[in-house]
Amino acid sequence: MTEAIRADALVKTFGSTRALDGLDLVVQAGEVHGFLGPNGAGKSTTIRVLLGLLRADSGTARLLGGDPWRDTAELHRRLAYVPGDVTLWPGLSGGEVIDLLGRLRGGLDTRRRAELLERFDLDPSKKARTYSKGNRQKVALIAALASDVDLLLLDEPTSGLDPLMEEVFRQVIREEQGRDGRTVLLSSHILAEVEALCDRVTIIRDGRAVETGTLAGMRHLTRTSIQVDLAGPATGLDAMPGVHDLRSHNGTLRFDVDTAELDAVLRQLTAVGVRSLTSQPPTLEELFLRHYDRAQPDAKHRTGVSR
């Protein structure tokens, strides 16, 4: 089995709201898959369908080779879930919740639990009602990460963590990548996190996947920023395909270039003679902003780049 998760054309409506509108998602076994989208895009709904909590109106979902709605109990042995909004039983201590959830999943690695408590700097003796959002999230994360499972479903797991803890989280997930066969679906709206951790990314908007692939692959769809001092005048540069926002200041040229056209543009520059050149790689941020720029008409979002 190479696909840990496969969703085809999932549709889920709540009353008149169409939360999922034909969503496709494929997560390969063993990868850390970023699931990107703004609030309300349908990330949590997708994860709940994958957990068998919600029943899709149409479309199919497969999880670890099973049907998430029918084979719930067997599948849940093999996965751990951290919800986006963690609520705990106010009268139980954090340590009790971690142990309880671990046991209900079918076992907890106590050495790993102790290690994670230390790294996430969580006091397990506090009652859950006294925990902040970040601390409640740590409880759920530790319970999930200390379980021996094939699949981690993490719904915006760092939204309440401080930067230090976010770094700890990244380290822990990187270690998970090293562990054989463990798959992670990481929903997030924090691009830096996804960039730092994920092998592949699916971007969703309004209940639909608008982009999916490796980060390297997606970068082809974005623009690189170039700042260059040339030996002579750059003729015809502004007429080249893929060059945008060309500005000149004291002999320094700045422009953005579609990554697909980078090679041709660089040839043109070196033909004139380059004195100095800085280039900024495209960030996921730009890609994201272009997809979520509400001013843009819907029509283009399937093809990524088109101008």
The residue ranges that bind other proteins (CB under 8 A) are 48, 51, 53-55, 72-73, 76-77, 79-81, 83, 85-93, 95-101, 103-106, 124-127, 129-130, 140, 153
Residue 245 C-beta: closest distance to other proteins, Å: 41
Long-range contacts of 45-48 (CB under 8 A, 24+ apart): 45/12, 45/19, 45/20, 45/207, 46/7, 46/10, 46/20, 46/187, 46/204, 47/81, 47/153, 47/155, 47/185, 47/187
Shortest Cβ distance from residue 232 to other proteins (Å)? 60
Whose Cβ is closer to other proteins: residue 76's or residue 200's? 76
Minimum CB distance to other proteins, residue 262 (Å): 44
CB neighbourhood size of 23 (10 A): 27
Q: Which is nearer to other proteins, 4 or 287 (CB)?
A: 4
Question: In angstroms, what is the minimal distance from the CB of 176 to other proteins?
Answer: 18
At closest approach, how far in Å is the CB of 266 from other proteins? Answer: 50
**Closest to other proteins by CB, 81 or 288:** 81
Q: Quick one: 157 or 304, whose CB is closer to other proteins?
A: 157
CA distance 236 to 227: 17
Please report how close the Cβ of residue 99 comes to other proteins at its closest, in angstroms.
4
Distance CA 179, CA 254 (A): 44
Please give the backbone phi and psi of residue 202, each rounded to the nearest 5 degrees, phi first: -120, 130
Contact 127, 91 (CB under 8 A): yes
Q: Which is nearer to other proteins, 155 or 211 (CB)?
A: 155
Token readout for 158 is 């760092």
Q: Whose Cβ is closer to other proteins: residue 72's or residue 268's?
A: 72
Q: Least distance in Å: CB of 131 to other proteins?
A: 11
State the nearest-atom distance from the C-beta of 78 to other proteins, in Å: 10
Of 157 and 282, the one with the shorter C-beta distance to other proteins is 157
Token match 């963590």: residue? 161
Q: Which is nearer to other proteins, 51 or 209 (CB)?
A: 51
Residue 212 CB, nearest approach to other proteins (Å): 25
Nearer to other proteins, 70 or 275 (CB): 70
* Pairing, β 223-230 against β 151-155: unpaired
